Structure 1
């Protein structure tokens, strides 16, 4: 059940960004006196949601198909798919870092450049589909996809309600704070995913006989499995796994890659926010 919390946070974060972009487009159209274009934006939003759902289903079916093969093939697929997912997720996170502080102006500039029914439809479609694709990639790489997806859908519903309340001016929320906190979480989870992909790749190479079990590359930084810090069963390890991507028995190379990844993205974010 621990997977439901990461799913909820990712769904809330990405869903809120997608719906807020739509909200910003609608509000700017109101300011421009172009309310007749609202329908195009709404249709684009639902099209983007549809594309995200189809993308997620295709990923799920692909995972089920490969899972029916041999253990070695399954591990290679898991490692390869996770690495590809990390690449896309890293791009999405980098986009968030680059546009987070100027989101409102970026949206307005995009509306000005696409001020037509077709242009606004495509703008809303791409904005929603981009966030939906990231949600699908995180869900695709989750160990318990059903539980993770349950949390994700819950997060998206909360995001939709919150965005609607903000649009109707019924609530005031520090969106910047929410985005900062959840972006830190996404970076930590992406780092964990990168490390996990390396772990699965090493396991796959052992399964197909390319590396022996006693190869130096399998040396562990520490092994706290079976203790309270076990990331799957420990009373402390499970919350740490959910919150910061804790792994209780990582290979040295896995831990290094995870920490370096988090450090690089964290530094990029720090430098971006330090620019005046």
Structure 2
């Protein structure tokens, strides 16, 4: 029962936190007009997660599709990351360019970009949650575990909401730093997971050897299962350290 909670909490954090990071960034940059695109993306991803889960059960090579989705999500995260790092070095530039490549080429392009980003990130993890719930109810025959699994997802969503709500209140430079750290870890996780799944799909020479070599870093591996926790712990640790340093510096100035 606890394992179902941990799995959905982990998948929820990976899905919702990246969306919360985007929403907090948009609010801080004064681009609240694009947040509705994120909301529509989340709504559409709920239906798409069910459809994708049904399709995933019927494909011959699930690992290939999972690896491809992970790399697609990684590409989207990298595209967003480049803008985060660019914003950190060009803080005074035109605000309309602050969310490129998604919003820097016109409002319609930005709206579509935000919609697709949320849709991809939520669906990638959402379909795995649907598969888990389906297994609990119809295969394992343990419907009582569904509530536990849903609790993990709700807690992850709650943590993401807190960041989306209160993250924009941070100083701009600190918000960009925390966001960049999260995205760096997120991209690294997706790269490892995507490569691991593609080796399982026998896409590379010596795939079996590569698969076993990366197994400890996979989502259920010895080290990989802790990666979702690092997505939360490392940025929060940086936030705490920098907040303490800022408070200390302010105290020195005031004294």
Q: Aligning the two structures, in what range does the TM-score lie when normalised by the shorter sequence? A: 0.5 to 0.7
- CA deviations 1:84-138 (Å, max 9, x no partner) are 222222212222222344356321678xxxxxxxxxxx74x76566445434433
- Match of residue 80 from structure 2: 92
- Match of residue 192 from structure 1: 189
- CA deviations 1:161-182 (Å, max 9, x no partner) are 3268x4xxxxxx3342233123
- Structure 2's unaligned 5+ residue stretches are 1-5, 99-105, 131-148, 233-255
User: Structure 1 51/241 Cα, relative in aligned 2: closer, same or farther at 3 Å?
Assistant: closer
Residue pairs, 1:89-168, within 5 angstroms: 89-103=77-91, 105-107=93-95, 123=107, 130-131=113-114, 133-142=116-125, 144-145=128-129, 150=154, 153-162=157-166, 166=169
Q: Are residues 1:65 and 2:54 paired?
A: yes
- Displacement, 1:55? 4.6
Decide which of 23, 46, 55 is 1:15's aligned counterpart: 23
User: Structure 1 131/231 Cα, relative in aligned 2: closer, same or farther at 3 Å?
Assistant: same
Decide which of 57, 69, 79 is 2:67's aligned counterpart: 79
User: Structure 1 62/76 Cα, relative in aligned 2: closer, same or farther at 3 Å?
Assistant: farther
Measure, in 2, the Cα distance between the counterparts of 1:59 and 1:186: 24
- CA deviations 1:42-80 (Å, max 9, x no partner) are xx643x24432355246424421322204x332222122
Q: Indicate if the aligned counterparts of 2:66 and 2:194 stay in contact, CA closer than 8 A.
A: yes
Computing the radius of gyration over CA atoms, which structure comes out larger, 1 or 2?
A: 1
Partner SS state of residue 219, structure 1 = helix
Measure, in 1, the Cα distance between the counterparts of 2:89 and 2:51: 37
Measure, in 2, the Cα distance between the counterparts of 1:144 and 1:196: 14
- CA deviations 1:225-272 (Å, max 9, x no partner) are 6xxx996486x7643453169xxxxxxxxxxxxxxxxxxxxxxxxxxx
- Match of residue 261 from structure 1: none
The two structures have a TM-score, normalised by structure 1, of 0.53
Q: Indicate if the aligned counterparts of 2:16 and 2:122 stay in contact, CA closer than 8 A.
A: no
The two structures have a TM-score, normalised by structure 2, of 0.57
- Structure 1's unaligned 5+ residue stretches are 27-40, 111-121, 167-172, 246-276
Q: Indicate if the aligned counterparts of 1:49 and 1:132 stay in contact, CA closer than 8 A.
A: yes
- Match of residue 174 from structure 1: 171
